[in-house]
Structure 1
Amino acid sequence: MSIYKRKNSRYYYCEIKINGNVVIRSTKTTKKSLALRFESQLREELYRQQVLGDRPTITLADAIQEYASSKMGSVNQENLDTQIRTLNFQLSRVYSLQAELHGLNGCHLTRLVSLRRKDGVTEGTIRLMLTTLKGILNWSKSAGYLQPDNLVIPRIRVNNQRTRILSQSEEIQLLERLRLNKNPDDYDLVVLLLDTAARLNEIQQLRWDSVDLKNGEIHLWRTKTNTESIVKLTDRSLDILNRRQTTTKHSELVFPSKKGGLRRTTPKSIQNVYKELGLQGFCTHSIRHTTASKLVKNGMSLFAVSKLLGHSNISMSQRYSHLEQKAVANQAVEILNNN
């Protein structure tokens, strides 16, 4: 018989053999008539999928939830959770979350972008929302679910050329102020970021088994490109890591949280210092731009800087091209003046 009850369950189960495979599902009902109906519907669905080649469908809400679950434990999970909550609310303004994912179309997204602009949010915020949606669609496609027909996600252009960086005096002032914080992690973290031009999450997930104090280098895992880079340490960063090895020797992480786990955001104590010093438009990621700009200004090529930053290609470093041109011009005039 295709439906039956298990000893440890009050529900009926159904067992269907199709294409040499056996599919067993709970009908989630104690009534035989409903169980038989469930079995019939499931058999028809499996036939369409496995024999006729139809793809299974999924609601937008379930797709979002499954995508979020697939990212559990990732370094960026806290930020992703925020984006998922935002996306759930915003999408519901233009399309029911209980509707099938494949019913989503370009008109819905165009209207969504228009509404968000009326809300007064930045283009960068809108693009981040759409990037999260794109991740959900890519996940659902790889999972084999039926996709929207010819869905085009609107392209949002964001001008990243004007990047906030620290002046030399601001950098000195920031470090001097961080030294006064009760937690030495604040100063140590910012110095490591300044001296490596690494992303915040790359330093936060740095483990002691990736630190080579003898050779003065660290092995950074680049989460964006899934590659590893070897970064040489400056003298002050090496001193910091030598000191921290004795204070965090019981942790696998170089910068563990108060509970010993992985940090996921910039500590509030550092963010408060940014505000206290009046660093308008500055965030922790701006430290990376500060170091990259400093290197280009002092003659390092864009190609070399792109390698240090862990960019997948040199086009990612084009925002510093005007600095390279100035550095080259200064080198040229120095050579010509002396010859």
Structure 2
Amino acid sequence: MAIKKTASGWLVDSQPGGRGAKRFRKTFKTQAEAKAYDAWLHTQLLAKPEWQPAKRDVRKLSEVMDLWFAHHGSGLRAGADTRRRLLAVAHALGDPQVSQFTVDMFAQYRTRRLAQGVTANNLNREHSYMRAAFNELKRLGLWDGANPLGELRQYRIQENELTYLTHAQIRLLLGALSTARNPHVLLITKVCLSTGARWSEAEELQLSQVGAGIVQFARTKSGKVRAVPISQELESELRAHHRRNATTERIFGYAWSAFREGVERAGIALPDGQMTHALRHTFASHFMMNGGNILTLQRILGHQSLTMTMRYAHLAPEHLAEALRLNPLAHDTVRYAETEPNAC
């Protein structure tokens, strides 16, 4: 508190709530009026909590992420893995007090990680996880204020071309896998090519999920069950394989390494990150090239957004035919227009 004599009168310059709180400045003709005003300000402090400075949140960033897991993440299928990623980010940032965690701090962390060779996709994923955690904590009433990462834009990713196998490559791959020592890899690959399943969905398939010409994928990325028809021949193969090799409900054992070795023996080059996923792209690409419906494909693949499925739309015969039929040179009046020079 300060009451000072100035040329224009007695100046009250006061912060009744202390440092960081709301500040009041007013000039009076007399010292008595200035003192009375200052006393009144201090009585208002108790009546108006907004005059109090905001209390600093001294919790560590890791504590807040653990709070998210306890109240929300523990109920998610991938909650434990997400918690592990969030804590790794918190510790890489030096585990600051959450009140000191800023967007600039995270932006600098991203820049460092990018320079160390971490992909922009991975950094965008970390960004999404932490932003979502703060949003959920706010909904639960466990976080006040704005989301620290709410306004930060993610890195823009240049989409890679989706690689799919030709019929000749599929024959080469199946031939190479048929000689593998792993008893499961060939049939898992057939399931992926027949249904568009992710490798992990096919690899973890249980006998109870197969029946009546349908495979039901339960442990999916979206958490939703989806059903895909299969041939009677493939269903019989799955049941026979279970009888020969399984001791539990699960049909297959792990076979990712055997698949990679089979791809190498077949001499097929696949882009980084698209090893087993190329099977899913192959199913979707051939589905569209053979005249499949984009909405049906969305249901088969289990995409929540049609935007993801539209990546395959350009392979549809109708799409290609329209490019030929509707291009601006397709009409004779344009294509064969007279181009003779004007007469002099």
Bucket of the pairwise TM-score, normalised by the shorter protein? 0.5 to 0.7
Residue 308 of structure 1 corresponds to which residue in structure 2?
300
The 5-angstrom pairing of residues 296-335 of structure 1 reads: 296-324=288-316, 329=321
Aligned length: 266
The yes-or-no answer on 1:217 pairing with 2:214 is yes
Q: Structure 1's 137 and 202: CA in aligned 2 closer, same or farther, altered over 3 A?
A: farther
Is the Cα–Cα contact under 8 Å of residues 124 and 158 in structure 1 kept in the other structure? yes
Residue 124 of structure 2 corresponds to which residue in structure 1?
127
Is the Cα–Cα contact under 8 Å of residues 207 and 250 in structure 2 kept in the other structure? yes
Q: Structure 1's 157 and 326: CA in aligned 2 closer, same or farther, altered over 3 A?
A: farther
Residue 197 of structure 2 corresponds to which residue in structure 1?
198
Residue 207 of structure 1 corresponds to which residue in structure 2?
206
Give SS of 2:215's match: strand
Residue 180 of structure 1 corresponds to which residue in structure 2?
179
Partner of residue 259 from structure 2, selected from 270, 273, 276: 270
- Deviation of 1:207 after TM superposition, in Å, equals 2.2
TM-score (normalizing by structure 2) = 0.65
Give SS of 2:153's match: coil
The yes-or-no answer on 1:96 pairing with 2:94 is yes
AA matched with 2:63: D
Is the Cα–Cα contact under 8 Å of residues 213 and 235 in structure 2 kept in the other structure? yes
Identical-pair percentage: 20
Is the Cα–Cα contact under 8 Å of residues 64 and 84 in structure 1 kept in the other structure? no
- Deviation of 1:242 after TM superposition, in Å, equals 2.1
Give SS of 1:121's match: coil
CA deviations on 1:118-168 (whole Å, 9 max, x unpaired) are 223332222223233345435544664325624224322223361122222
Point out where structure 1 has 5 or more consecutive residues left out of the alignment. Answer: 1-53, 258-265, 334-339
- Deviation of 1:109 after TM superposition, in Å, equals 2.1
Q: Take 2:98 and 2:204, find their aligned partners in 1: how far apart are those partners? A: 35
Residue 279 of structure 1 corresponds to which residue in structure 2?
269
Q: Take 1:73 and 1:188, find their aligned partners in 2: how far apart are those partners? A: 33
Residue 60 of structure 1 corresponds to which residue in structure 2?
61
Q: Structure 1's 73 and 243: CA in aligned 2 closer, same or farther, altered over 3 A?
A: farther
Residue 3 of structure 1 corresponds to which residue in structure 2?
none
TM-score (normalizing by structure 1) = 0.66
Is the Cα–Cα contact under 8 Å of residues 75 and 205 in structure 1 kept in the other structure? no
Partner of residue 292 from structure 1, selected from 277, 284, 299: 284
Q: Structure 1's 300 and 66: CA in aligned 2 closer, same or farther, altered over 3 A?
A: same
Q: Structure 1's 221 and 332: CA in aligned 2 closer, same or farther, altered over 3 A?
A: farther
- Deviation of 1:190 after TM superposition, in Å, equals 1.0
Residue 226 of structure 1 corresponds to which residue in structure 2?
223
Is the Cα–Cα contact under 8 Å of residues 209 and 217 in structure 2 kept in the other structure? yes
Is the Cα–Cα contact under 8 Å of residues 68 and 84 in structure 1 kept in the other structure? no
Residue 9 of structure 1 corresponds to which residue in structure 2?
none
AA matched with 2:184: D
CA deviations on 1:158-207 (whole Å, 9 max, x unpaired) are 23361122222222111111111112111111111111101223223332
Partner of residue 106 from structure 2, selected from 105, 109, 113: 109
Q: Structure 1's 310 and 63: CA in aligned 2 closer, same or farther, altered over 3 A?
A: same
Q: Take 2:298 and 2:146, find their aligned partners in 1: how far apart are those partners? A: 38
Q: Take 1:271 and 1:132, find their aligned partners in 2: how far apart are those partners? A: 30
Q: Which has the larger radius of gyration?
A: 2
CA RMSD of aligned residues (A): 3.5
Give SS of 1:227's match: coil
Residue 156 of structure 1 corresponds to which residue in structure 2?
155
- Deviation of 1:92 after TM superposition, in Å, equals 4.2
CA deviations on 1:66-109 (whole Å, 9 max, x unpaired) are 6678767987589x37x936x6555545x321x33353221122
